[in-house]
């Protein structure tokens, strides 16, 4: 299956937003440069906790603020929301190639979205010092995306080329480890 072979039908941002949610997202966009976008994003999430536009907005906000733990939480939430829509296993580690055909029949765009969220979660796990989890997530994406359409193989190749024992500071917790 070619994960680039889709026509754009049913993309996550195609669903109409409730006016109150749209107003919160608009406010967040206006307030981003002042550093006050989180509150309207959280207000939007309170109104529509499973809305993909809201969750993507929060993910991007946290990612670009270098709040990787918060971004990872949102990436995991995205997978938890999208996975059941596609009939995927509840745990990403249980994903198999056979699951993709069934999921693609429900929406290839949404399947790509799910796999990109998994790739993002893997990258964020690496940034947070959770190397085994990050590598496992990325390896799952690479296994499912044999043609490397989503680009996860590059991250694993970089890790392999720079393979070394990574020793965190003895007093550091994984969330305190920063690049």
Residue pLDDT, tens place only, 82-133: 999 999 999 999 999 999 888 988 888 899 999 999 999 999 999 999 999 9
Q: In this model, does residue 167 exceed pLDDT 70?
A: no
166 burial class (0-12, 13-18, 19+ CB within 10 angstroms)?
exposed
The pTM score is: 0.83
pLDDT of residue 12: 57
The pLDDT score that the predictor gives to residue 162 is 75
The pLDDT, as a whole number, for residue 29 is 95
Which of 107, 84, 83, 112 is closest to 15 using CA atoms?
107
Asked if residue 3 has pLDDT above 70, the reply is no
Which ranges of the chain does DSSP label H, i.e. alpha helix? 19-31, 38-47, 52-64, 68-86, 97-106, 108-127, 131-144, 152-161
The answer to whether 59 and 76 are in contact (CB under 8 A) is no
What the block records as the tokens of 122 is 């893997």
Read off the tokens for 12.
Answer: 């996550």
Q: How many CB atoms lie within 10 A of CB 54?
A: 24
Q: 88 near 137, Cβ under 8 Å?
A: no
The answer to whether residues 77 and 113 touch, using CB atoms and an 8 Å cutoff, is no
Contact between residue 117 and residue 82 where contact means Cβ atoms under 8 Å apart: yes
Which of 73, 49, 50 lies closest to 61, judged by CA?
A: 73
> Residue 62's pLDDT is what?
96
pLDDT at 35: 84
The pLDDT tens digits for 22-71 are 999 999 999 999 989 999 999 999 999 999 999 999 999 999 999 999 99
Give the pLDDT confidence score for residue 168 in this predicted structure. 57
Tokens of 66: 């270098």
- In this structure, the dihedral spanned by the alpha carbons of residues 158, 116, 80 and 47, taken in order and rounded to 10 degrees, is 120
The whole-number pLDDT of residue 118 equals 97
Give pLDDT, residue 24.
97
Please state the rounded mean pLDDT for residues 137-149. 93
pLDDT at 8 over 50: yes
Q: Exposed (0-12), middle (13-18) or buried (19+): which is 109, by Cβ within 10 Å?
A: middle
Q: Which pLDDT score, from 0 to 100, does residue 1 have?
A: 47
């Amino acid at each position: 299956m070619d994960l680039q072979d889709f026509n754009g039908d049913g993309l996550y941002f195609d669903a109409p937003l409730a006016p109150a949610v749209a107003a919160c997202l608009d406010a967040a966009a206006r307030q981003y440069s002042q550093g006050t976008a989180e509150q309207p994003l959280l207000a939007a999430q309170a109104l529509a906790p499973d809305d993909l536009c809201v969750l993507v907005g929060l993910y991007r906000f946290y990612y670009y603020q270098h709040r990787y733990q918060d971004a990872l939480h949102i990436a995991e939430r995205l997978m938890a929301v999208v996975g059941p829509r596609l009939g995927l296993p509840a745990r990403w580690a249980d994903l198999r190639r056979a699951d993709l055909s069934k999921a693609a029949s429900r929406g290839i765009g949404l399947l790509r979205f799910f796999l990109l969220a998994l790739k993002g979660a893997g990258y964020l796990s690496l940034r947070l010092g959770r190397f085994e989890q990050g590598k496992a997530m990325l390896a799952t994406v690479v296994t499912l995306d044999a043609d490397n359409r989503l680009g996860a193989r590059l991250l694993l190749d970089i890790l392999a080329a720079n393979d070394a024992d990574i020793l965190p500071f003895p007093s550091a917790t994984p969330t305190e480890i920063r690049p």
